[in-house]
Amino acid sequence: MENHTIKSIQEGIKRGDFSAHEIFDHYAIKIGRENKRLNAYLSTLVFQASVSGSQSQLAGVPCAIKDNILIDGTIATAGSKILENYISAYDASVITKLRNAGVQFLGKTNMDEFAMGTSTENSAFGPTKNPHNLERVTGGSSGGSAAAVAADLCVFALGSDTGGSVRQPASFCGVVGLKPTYGRVSRHGLIAMASSLDQIGPITKNVYDSALVLNSICGNDKFDSTTAPENAPDFTKNLDQDAAGLKIGVPREFFRKGLSLEVEDKIKATISRLEQMGCSIEEISLPNFEYALAAYYIIVPSEVSANLARFDGIRYGYSSEKSKILEDVYSESRSFGFGAEAKRRIMLGTYALSSGYYDAYYLKAQKVRALIKKDFDNAFRQVDAIVGPTAPSVAFKIGEKISDPLSLYLEDIYTVPINLAGLPAISIPCGNGAESNMPVGFQIIGNSFNEETVLRVAHQLEASFR
């Protein structure tokens, strides 16, 4: 038994090759054997006999869940010491949906603390190692989920993507990562990082599985009022339609200083492949691309400083026992409980929102965000999808960039603009870099609520690589 997809699990169960319980145990044993080496899982769970959902295509499929998504009665750390012993009091909406579909949860995966990071090195529980090369990072923040899928320690996983946290680790680990449109999937029960950007997405072994999982987790939810009221289509329906005739935009701003040569080579070769498939390739421009990352690093810390204010050492989470008065409980619990990157972002956001700086930073950034959205709106009047790299480089070495926060921020340069504009995008593997022999991710970006085109182009490209 190796490298199962959702389809192969379905078929295996149907044929009687294994039961849902047996395949769960197969993975549980594998995790027990291999997780020490990778540190992909922070905790493991047991088989739920009561879950059935036998009509669903996901019935009996074992998956992994990023540790910032709540599963009732189990620990959710969000990669932070401050939540080391926190027990979820309810199921996130995506968990309810997967449970109803008969999915089994193998465990919770490692991540950068509160999803702040691009390498999973900001986890309070140590970095996850890249299954393709143990000296290298998995990317982040959903590094544990991406590594678990890449190493076949689960069939699929959920991650969360605020500025690239599903797509970039998928790129580094050679798997498929989808960030749906903002509003497509409920975040109820996702530990909030930056609420105007956070979105839950699947990490899978192929594009078909990505569409299947999205089918299962999407939809309006009364507990997340940002979820779109519209019904979602069946995302698997158009996958087989060939891509010929589609207009594909390539922003000239993507080929810039900082893009590594081996990544550029693979991206250009993949674009030629699309051309051979009958797509028309058009050079486009996103004039404000250059400013997206700067706007993002005002908006995110600002929202972080508000969202993480709830960690007060009073209601849940780590609490400093030595503090004598209330205010010291706050500041000492937060001082001990938060890691360096969380502190950095909280302080940066507090500064940006503080009296006298609001207009210069926060308001300015939201105006720039409007310009970036407008750039994409203009582009999608000309083209059906936009393509380019997911990340400027392949997975770097563990420890290589950790001392320079800004260099880690630059990892997200190709993914952040998509979150600012609320668009759907996918990263699929497009081969290994010539120099490093590490996976390179190809990003396909769609217009708002048009995951169908994104998935279709991705599926067609994937088929061409086989």
Contact set for other proteins, span 77-96 (CB under 8 A): 86-87, 89-91, 93, 96
418-437 positions binding other proteins, by CB under 8 A: 421-422
The answer to whether 168 touches 411, Cβ cutoff 8 Å, is yes
Binding-site size, other proteins (CB under 8 A):
80
Q: Interface with other proteins includes 314 (CB under 8 A)?
A: yes
Type of residue found at 128: T
- 320 in active site: no
287-306 positions binding other proteins, by CB under 8 A: 288, 290-291, 293-295, 297-298, 305
If we measure between CA atoms, which residue out of 87, 182, 141 comes closest to residue 421?
182
Candidate residues 43, 48, 238, 366; the one interacting with other proteins per rule CB under 8 A = 366
- 145 in active site: no
- 66 in active site: yes
Q: Interface with other proteins includes 411 (CB under 8 A)?
A: no
Q: One symbol per residue from 123 to 152: x for binding other proteins (CB under 8 A), - otherwise; what is it?
A: ------------------------------
Nearest distance, CB of residue 405 and other proteins, angstroms = 6
Candidate residues 21, 37, 252, 367; the one interacting with other proteins per rule CB under 8 A = 367
Give kind and range of the element (H or E) at residue 226: none
Q: Strand pairing partners for 428? A: 442
- In angstroms, the CA 301 to CA 411 distance is 17
Q: Interface with other proteins includes 244 (CB under 8 A)?
A: no
Give kind and range of the element (H or E) at residue 280: strand 280-284
Adjacency order of strands within the sheet including 176-179 = 41-44, 104-109, 62-66, 156-161, 199-204, 176-179, 425-432, 439-446, 385-389, 247-251, 280-284
371-410 positions binding other proteins, by CB under 8 A: 371, 373, 405-406, 409
The answer to whether 145 touches 159, Cβ cutoff 8 Å, is yes
Nearest distance, CB of residue 407 and other proteins, angstroms = 10
323-352 positions binding other proteins, by CB under 8 A: 323-332, 334-335, 338, 343-344, 346-348, 350-351
Enumerate the H helices of 121-260 as residue ranges.
143-150, 167-173, 207-217
Identity of the residue, 16 or 229, whose beta carbon is nearer to other proteins in the bound complex: 229
Identity of the residue, 371 or 463, whose beta carbon is nearer to other proteins in the bound complex: 371
8-37 positions binding other proteins, by CB under 8 A: none
Query: Residues 6 or more apart from 448 whose CB is under 8 A from it?
Result: 181, 421, 422, 423, 424
Which residues carry out catalysis? 66, 141, 165
